[in-house]
Structure 1
């Protein structure tokens, strides 16, 4: 029977009371529902707009990402994640690739932690030369840099189609997507036998991005909230998952939605994924009839402040314009 390398897990994930019990779950089964599929090589703006308005998420085919590159990144990531925890946290990772785990902003109660660890790589830092990097990370950096170039291409093509649908002002649109400010995260969701409702690989949330592009392995676990019910986003080989983030919801005046999603834990298998997050320019103004004018820098600062003080991301609600009172009584 396969057993995970517990010494590579962050300390709170190793506690014996989590790993000597048989996996079980008290969650209701997710709803089965066909997800919208978009073909990047034969991009239909109308179909894309319908998927973004109805779901805020779609599956992407014919995206041009070489399968061998995805496999190489996953294989190398598995080696890096399997290293002793202390070496990942203090010895091998630094600029331009950093390491984090769990949800550091909230309390240290293990039941509140996201059951996840990640290598974090901003694209502009991956492309910087002259930085001293651990030898084990150099080939990983090169793979991620190449993968990032593909992600910039895919994100730009999707964004331009969405911008056309939404008739963005050309001057405003120029700052609505920054090719250089994207970032990559490579995730491992450790095996967690206690698959009750208290534990999540990643708790329900929306992304702060313009859009996020996920390349998930065959294990599964991603779910999206649709009509107040959780829907499984089942892995399909060679297919990416694209979801819209808060910035696109604001830019589109809520015509498109920032979809809430989560990752459930798996009691028998580790899960690996690669996610690209596309952002606007930090100081570019985002204009909306539903929200106060703000920059992504403003938004990020407010999110960080809220997480530090409350443990939760409030997000777009902090910038929501108050609707005028109709003056009608109850």
Structure 2
């Protein structure tokens, strides 16, 4: 099977299926940046506060996720993603599983299906594909039917479930620490309302090697966006490609082995009254001769949890999510928090 046969048809014209040496190098214009480092075993609240306020992103070390687990998860994820495109699509449509397969866009609905885009971005294709995994539905999953690929999918489910337990623990610990830096009251059920473990989802991504670049001469990847989450946690391979905006400039965040990238999402920005920022980021792969693999975890408030802020009209996460989907389908892009900010020209 050729390499391109595993990619969605829309990707194939942008894939060089020959010698990686034939792929033209990309002119690297972006600067490297060293983001703050947080040690989960010796968590310093002042360093955490500064990272959340000035950056909205930091690197986490001593996180306690076993290296063997992440290695096994990457290996089986790569194996599943390397299946022929039609086989992947049929596999995830056929099995009795909450897992779903997506490609070409990071904008998904609650079921994990790609949203149809409107506006000028309707035809834009992000060079990524992946699996969407709602963690709360995994224990009830039964995807171990007969067949080698179904068995492989079941092994993937088991590893994802174990990884999810570790990553959820980390998200809860970090949120509680961040809440302390904001003097938030988490008494009663408020913690689980603002950060609901049942909402956690994992997305496993693959970015193809490509001979195509965008208008700026950069390798295509994931579009510029902020996450809608409270907290997002990224485990990436050594290929790199994550970039963040600080000030008005783009900077490249180089991968560091056995660490996680934590970034704050829109819900954390709203909860903090804009004291902490939802970081704007993208993926632009520099080494086009290699694929990029990553695993992202996203966790949200309860759907009916009311977010109250001095800078935004009160809204529930369900209302925020619905508005994002409306904007993506109408405009082709997410608007996000400005829809709820009375002083914004985009206010509803």
- The normalised TM-score by structure 2 is 0.86
Contact 1:213 1:275 in 2 (8 A): yes
Structure 1: any 5+ residue segments left out of the alignment?
324-330
Q: 2:4 — aligned with what?
A: 6
Q: 2:99 — aligned with what?
A: 97
Q: Deviations over 1:192-217 (max 9, x none)?
A: 12234375210110000001000000
CA separation of 1:111 and 1:63: change in aligned 2, threshold 3 A: same
Q: Deviations over 1:101-160 (max 9, x none)?
A: 012533698972110001110011112255666322101000000000001100000000
Bigger Cα displacement from structure 2, 4-13 vs 156-165: 4-13
Q: Does 1:117 align with 2:118?
A: no
Query: Could you tell me how far 1:321 is from its partner in structure 2?
Result: 2.4
Q: Does 1:138 align with 2:154?
A: yes
Give 3-state SS (helix, strand or coil) of 2:258's partner.
Answer: coil
- What CA distance in whole angstroms lies between the structure 2 residues aligned with 1:156 and 1:17? 40
Give 3-state SS (helix, strand or coil) of 1:287's partner.
Answer: strand
Contact 1:23 1:195 in 2 (8 A): no
Query: Could you tell me how far 1:17 is from its partner in structure 2?
Result: 7.7
Q: Does 1:307 align with 2:328?
A: yes
CA separation of 1:4 and 1:63: change in aligned 2, threshold 3 A: farther
**Matched length:** 320
- What CA distance in whole angstroms lies between the structure 1 residues aligned with 2:30 and 2:310? 35
Query: Could you tell me how far 1:167 is from its partner in structure 2?
Result: 1.4
Q: Does 1:322 align with 2:330?
A: no
Q: 1:226 — aligned with what?
A: 246
Q: Does 1:241 align with 2:286?
A: no
Structure 2: any 5+ residue segments left out of the alignment?
106-113
Q: 2:24 — aligned with what?
A: 23
1:106 to 117, 123, 126: 117
CA separation of 1:110 and 1:320: change in aligned 2, threshold 3 A: closer
Contact 1:23 1:268 in 2 (8 A): no
Q: 1:328 — aligned with what?
A: none
Q: Deviations over 1:218-274 (max 9, x none)?
A: 000001111111111101100100000000000000000000000013420000001
Contact 1:217 1:273 in 2 (8 A): yes
- What CA distance in whole angstroms lies between the structure 1 residues aligned with 2:82 and 2:143? 25
- What CA distance in whole angstroms lies between the structure 2 residues aligned with 1:245 and 1:268? 31
Q: 1:215 — aligned with what?
A: 235
1:288 to 284, 300, 309: 309
Bigger Cα displacement from structure 2, 309-318 vs 91-100: 91-100
- What CA distance in whole angstroms lies between the structure 1 residues aligned with 2:125 and 2:141? 35
CA separation of 1:4 and 1:209: change in aligned 2, threshold 3 A: farther
Q: 1:45 — aligned with what?
A: 45
Q: 1:68 — aligned with what?
A: 68
Q: 1:327 — aligned with what?
A: none
Give 3-state SS (helix, strand or coil) of 1:168's partner.
Answer: coil
Contact 1:96 1:122 in 2 (8 A): yes
Q: 1:181 — aligned with what?
A: 199
Contact 1:32 1:232 in 2 (8 A): yes
Contact 1:24 1:195 in 2 (8 A): no
CA separation of 1:216 and 1:17: change in aligned 2, threshold 3 A: closer
How large is the Cα RMSD of the aligned pairs?
A: 2.2
1:156 to 156, 162, 172: 172
Q: Does 1:78 align with 2:90?
A: no
- What CA distance in whole angstroms lies between the structure 2 residues aligned with 1:64 and 1:22? 38
